[in-house]
Amino acid sequence: MAESEWLEIGRIVAPQGLRGEMRVYPNTDFPERFLEPGTRWLRRKGERDPQPIELLGGRDIPGKGLYVVELEGIETREAAEELRNAVLLVSANDRPELEEGEYHVLDLVGLAVFDRTTGDRLGVVTDVLSAGNDLLEVQLDRSIPVPETPPKRSRRKKPKRPKPPKPPTVLVPFVMEIVPLVDLDAGRIEIVPPPGLLEVQA
């Protein structure tokens, strides 16, 4: 399967106890990925192709933002330690059903972002970050000029060329008041940016 056909749901960060359990930092909004037994896919550090593995069970660690999972065949702390920094995956087709107003991250990344008031295109969604409320990371179409610095006088070295302008990114709170429209079919998101949102972060 191609890389795009997988969804990373979490990364193993440390062993938990002495019986092979391990801590997982989640990269999904669906806790059942770590709580319900079933087949997952494991890609070890340094390897390209994931291998199927059975999730026997799991639980969350209150207040830590972590889960503890038990995988078939991993029964010692040493075996769990060998999986540090391995990632757990599922097939991209294995998506839980969403309620109205919920979206998968992969569906949002790549959508064009427009200012609903002016109709102007602002940029494109490059990521979705979790921080209390979800945040859309948007790479703006416009660029921030990099100021040129006068070259130092030197007979041996040529003056460095200024770096090309770098498109800035902004974080847009993914709430109805600011993002009233998500149209997956049209590939667009419309936002109503509060005063200063784009200018301050840029």
Task: Report the pLDDT value the prediction gives residue 153, as an integer from 0 to 100.
Answer: 56
- pLDDT number for residue 142: 72
**In the chain, what is the straight-line distance between the N-terminal and C-terminal CA atoms, in Å?**
38
| Cα 118 versus chain centre, distance | 29
Query: If pLDDT is split at 50, 70 and 90, which confidence band does 195 have?
Result: confident
pLDDT confidence of 38, banded at 50, 70, 90? very high
pLDDT at 202: 43
pLDDT tens for 87-129 read 999 987 776 666 666 677 778 889 999 999 999 999 999 988 8
